[in-house]
Chains A and B, each alone.
Chain A
């Protein structure tokens, strides 16, 4: 059985700047996989390449064994990879219900020709999603007026409407307060345990990553410097030198 996601010798150069240098890792089915690194380490570049926003300079990205390198972001969205955003992306003027409905409509009718085929029933139930993300009693609230944490949760719920097998999460707890962070951590865990979704997340928040992830990749200056379990990462001297020491105490 192929890995859920395999990143094979991926490199990205912007002119002379190396934002990704020969990055290799694979995410197995059912894992929560974390990518960490200091600011400017190339995490976001890596994320954007996998999500289809940037073409790599070299290397391949395989999803369930199929090459998806250089596919557009919507094609990747259709092939079973969902994503959430660092900043909140929801339809701010619409209600929570309307947001979920729109996400469902988009997932079902991704292309005009999708009209030709009979409309399939929703794959993920709106109410179920709302309940799972603490939005059940906020269905009629305007999304833009919700607390930031709930807006982010709504974003996760909308990503689930396309029934992803793999969810890419770009700094899922950035901007959240401590209690929202804990709630988000539980939600991410439940995404894997209850919904069976494999997760790749890019995050700054070290305690969260250490707590949540099965495996962690550390990048610095575009280079992968360590790959392993949280325990291995914690004791890796190179990682501590590059990054962990100072930041870990902060957090």
Chain B
């Protein structure tokens, strides 16, 4: 009952931009739908008991790849976005086996370093990626002859599709055997391995999925904004995503969604006053860590672990 109610509230919220109308409302709403998959992708790595700071890099890889494929090779945008996501996933698949051998704070540092390296490539590969000036003139997203730029909320609708798909993918992951295994690995790896779990393969698989989701969000971002530059995919983006997870609550896929819905409008409001943004972050983090350790989502649904134990 409660879940249906929450679903309805979010569905109603999703229609608000069309009711309000206007470019600004659509812009904020579109940014929310782009940040939701990213917050979900970092949430997936948290499920493995690892905090990845590489997600903005995967977003950037998806964004640049998607933009270049359409700009230079004339791929249809949908194909470009999927190819960009697949490329980000491929890089996660190649690096994951190395990264995921390392745990805890070292993993955080390693993924931070990886993010910086990718960002340096964005900055210095001027001939292909445009360097610090970024990549201009990314064509508008069009599908079946329909240019999304000409429809009110066209990009928002695209973002909604991607956000909803990511959310459902994460829910499916959480509730399937894969989720059971990742939770179990996180709780007692030695036990899981003794029963035969290939812990490493499972971690790499989840990391790859998280990169695919981040890459897809990056592709949508590139076609929506029409311009991408390295600083979008830097460390600050990781901080934003972590804050969304803390405020929304990392224990359930709904948490990062709520986090994005709350944090993105704040980011947009405070776009010209970075110092206030940090202040708001600081205060809200202290508030949530003290009073809502499991985030907003704990107010709505009981934390998953406990409810599992209770019902099963």
In the bound complex, what is the Cα–Cα distance between A3 and B2 (angstroms)? 59
> With an 8 A cutoff between CB atoms, is A51 at the interface?
yes
A98 in the interface (beta carbon within 8 A): yes
Give Cα distance in the complex from A111 to B192, angstroms: 12
Complex interface: stretch among A130-138, A154-162, A176-184:
A154-162
Q: A74-B199, A98-B308 are in contact. Are A91 and B184 (CB under 8 A)?
A: yes
Is the CB of B187 closer than 8 A to any CB of chain A? yes
Give residues of chain A (96-131) contacting chain B, Cβ–Cβ below 8 Å. Answer: 97-98, 101-103, 105-113, 115
With A89-B188, A91-B188, A102-B180 in contact, do A107 and B196 touch (Cβ < 8 Å)? yes
Write the chain B residue with the least CB distance to A160.
B195
Q: Nearest Cβ distance between residue B208 and chain A, in whole angstroms? A: 9
Which residue of chain A has the shortest Cβ distance to B206 in the bound complex?
A112
| Chain B 161-200 interface 0/1 with A at a Cβ cutoff of 8 Å (1 = within) | 0000000000000000110110010011011111111110
Chain A residue with Cβ nearest B204: A112
Q: Which B130-186 residues sit within 8 Å CB-CB of chain A? A: 177-178, 180-181, 184
Q: How far is the CA of A83 from the CA of B192 in the complex (A)?
A: 11
CB-nearest residue of chain A to B188: A89
Whether B312 contacts A93 by the Cβ 8 Å rule is no
Chain B interface extent, by class: 20 to 34
Q: Mark B300-312, 1 if CB is under 8 A from A, else 0.
A: 0000011011001
A4 within 8 A of B: no
A109 x B181 contact (CB < 8 A): yes
Q: Who on chain B is nearest to A53 by CB?
A: B190
Using A77-B195, A111-B202 as known contacts, list a sample of 8 further A-B pairs with CB atoms less than 8 Å apart, ordered by residue number in A: A73-B190, A83-B194, A85-B191, A90-B191, A91-B188, A93-B309, A98-B308, A159-B195
Q: Which residues of A contact B (CB under 8 A)?
A: 51, 72-75, 77-78, 82-83, 85, 89-91, 93-95, 97-98, 101-103, 105-113, 115, 140, 142, 158-159, 161-162
19 CB-based A-B contacts, threshold 8 Å: A72-B193, A77-B193, A77-B196, A78-B196, A82-B194, A85-B190, A89-B191, A91-B187, A93-B187, A93-B309, A98-B312, A102-B181, A105-B180, A105-B181, A109-B178, A110-B198, A111-B202, A112-B205, A158-B195
